[in-house]
Amino acid sequence: MIAFEHVGKRYGGRFEALAHLNFRVERGEMVFLTGHSGAGKSSLLRLIMRLERPSRGRVVVAGHDIAQLHASQVPFYRRQIGVVFQDHQLLFDRSVFHNVSLPLEIQGIEPRETARRVRAALDKVGLLHREKALPVELSGGEQQRVGIARAVVNKPSLLLADEPTGNLDPQLSADIMGLFEDFNRIGTTVMIASHDLALIARLRHRILRLRDGRLVADEGAV
Amino acid sequence: MKPSATPRRPKGAAPKVSRTKARAPARPESPKPKSRGGANSHQTRFSSRLRAWGRHHRAMSWDSFYRLVRHPVGNLLTMLAIAIALVLPAALWLTLDSARLLDAELDESATLTVYLQTSVDTAQAERIEQAVSAEQAVLDTRMISAEQGMVEFQQSLGLDDALAGLADNPLPASIVVRPRSVEPLAMQQLASTLEALAGVDEVRVDLAWVERLRHLAALGRRVALALGVLFGLGVLLVVGNTIRLSVESRRREIEVVMLIGATHAFVRRPFLYSGAWYGLGGGLLALGLLGLGNHWLSLPVAALAASYGASFSLPQLDMTGATILLSCSTLLGWLGAWLAVTRHLTSIRPR
């Protein structure tokens, strides 16, 4: 599903965020990405989302070198990836329902089908009863779950999450991780950047460990 | 997202990268996926995409309209700025339009005067007039005998006494010729033909002032065009700046939708509609201002025209003119928005 081949990323010509990255993630895998802050976890995810291009090497997603994508193809590529952000990236002037329906609106799905899928996604994260609420009326954990619902509403084959439990207490964090495991169980490839070592150690999935932009450990690979 | 759905999709769920395929939303678990392939499903996919496109256009035109209505004062000021920029060239254009009507009237009074030699007597003069009338390029002629010429001269100068002292009439008989064509070149040609006739002393072409007026009108038209272009640019700037601010205020929203796969066209659409609404509103206000100005000036203009013994009323913008003005302003608004958003989108990169 994802292959990094000798990938390096420099910012501004000097600062080396990532170097000599080589790894593969198979379809249907669930992988944690960990390391201290500044180790390059976010940079790595940004490369997969094609928010950045590698300075060196190739990033191959589903058989395509994504650096070769034309700018006009990038939106269509991104629609295949669900992303959960640490700060949710919710729009605060629209209801929960309209936040979650955003990816479907962008794809031009018809309203009735949109409503059905949004409710299914909200049901999955346990927020069906809050669909009319505004994001500010929700707790941090609920906001994060709205973000997850939005990421999975168009059934992406790849789900990325950047510190999805960053600001949550342990119980909520465990719940959120449980959700990701559910999605993984139905075939979605999941990659989660997190520094919550205790939590991810308990979950027994593959862990990629970064330090100073280099891959220092690849544990639990199948 | 039902967990009961197919576990592990064998294929079809991969990010499709070829553009045509990726455009159609990949729906690995869509409600009716069984009948895949075939021209029929291809057609329905195309028409559903078309419908989605139309739906978004409709939604965005209303959305941008409500956004305008929600802040009526500020947006009205923007439209007023556009209207003022449009009124000036439009008013000038209207004025020139009426000048063109005047020009047509002037054409009728463009004449040549054929002065006969003083030795020519009345009978000869009549023969010469017939010869002149026979010319192809001549519409009609009017003979002014030497005596008539003297009378007219005295009247126009009011110098009865001085001229009465003259022993004999120094004025020649003349023929006023109305040419068929008022083109300067044709008139020059006609003049030289007439000059060659026996008994003709001189031919005068009373063209200079007609020419001057023409040049003035041409100058005015160019000024109007230049002003139109300048003020059109002004409209672009006004709309562009307004749209730039609204893009800036919705920056977060744009970043988020771009993160989840919105195309530039999708992001641009609401702003293009805003720009078009601004343009349309500005155009309507400009029409109103023109009507108001017309109303306000019509009385003094009529009085002025009456004092010259003419009946002249200010020109009104007709249906065609109004349509042109509105479409131009709408187009300018749209273009201004397009420029602003396109310039701005490159600077907005999702974080």
At A4-62, the pLDDT tens digits run: 999 988 888 778 888 888 999 999 999 999 988 888 888 899 999 998 889 889 999 98
Put simply, the answer to whether A109 touches B31 (Cβ < 8 Å) is no
Pick B15's closest partner by Cβ from A28, A80, A89.
A80
Give the pLDDT of residue B216: 80
Residue found under tokens 């495991």: A181
At A84-124, the pLDDT tens digits run: 988 888 999 899 999 999 999 998 888 899 999 999 999 98
Whether the CB-CB separation of B118 and B239 falls below 8 Å is answered with: no
- Return the structure tokens found at B107: 């054409």
Put simply, the answer to whether A152 touches B53 (Cβ < 8 Å) is no
Pick B49's closest partner by Cβ from A108, A120, A183.
A108
Pick B259's closest partner by Cβ from A89, A154, A157.
A89
CA atoms A106, A107, A112, A116: torsion sign: negative
For testing contact with chain A, the best of B260, B266, B267 (most A CBs within 10 A)? B260
Give the pLDDT of residue A48: 93
Distance CA A73, CA B37 (A): 23
Q: Which residues of chain B have pLDDT under 70?
A: 1-44, 99-109, 157-167, 207-210, 309-313, 350-351
Interface predicted TM-score of the whole assembly (ipTM), two decimals: 0.87
In this complex, is the C-beta atom of B45 within 8 Å of any C-beta atom belonging to chain A?
no
- CB-neighbour burial class of residue A141 (10 A; exposed 0-12, middle 13-18, buried 19+): middle
Which residues face A7 on adjacent strands? A21
C-alpha pair distances (Å), A118 with each of A100, A128, A131, A152, B267: 6, 9, 9, 10, 22
Name the residue of chain B whose CA is nearest to A105's CA: B56
For testing contact with chain B, the best of A186, A189, A190, A191 (most B CBs within 10 A)? A186
Give the pLDDT of residue B116: 85
Write out chain A residues lying below 8 Å of B350, CB-based: 51
Pick B25's closest partner by Cβ from A63, A107, A187.
A107
> Where is B48: in which H helix or E strand?
helix B38-70
Give the pLDDT of residue B18: 44
Alpha-helical regions (H) of B71-206: 72-108, 122-134, 146-157, 160-164, 184-195
Put simply, the answer to whether B261 touches A78 (Cβ < 8 Å) is yes
At A168-217, the pLDDT tens digits run: 888 888 888 999 999 999 999 999 998 888 888 888 899 999 998 888 88
Name the residue of chain A whose CA is nearest to B49's CA: A108
List, as ranges, residues 11-40 from B with C-beta within 8 Å of A. 13-17, 19, 22-23, 25-29, 31
- CB-neighbour burial class of residue A23 (10 A; exposed 0-12, middle 13-18, buried 19+): middle
Put simply, the answer to whether B349 touches A51 (Cβ < 8 Å) is yes
CA atoms B23, B28, B29, B32: torsion sign: positive
* pTM above threshold 0.80: no
Give the pLDDT of residue B316: 77
Cβ neighbour number for residue B186 with a 10 Å cutoff: 13
Longest Cα separation, chain A:
51
Please state the three-class secondary structure of A37-61 as a single string: CCCCHHHHHHHHCCCCCCCEEEEEE
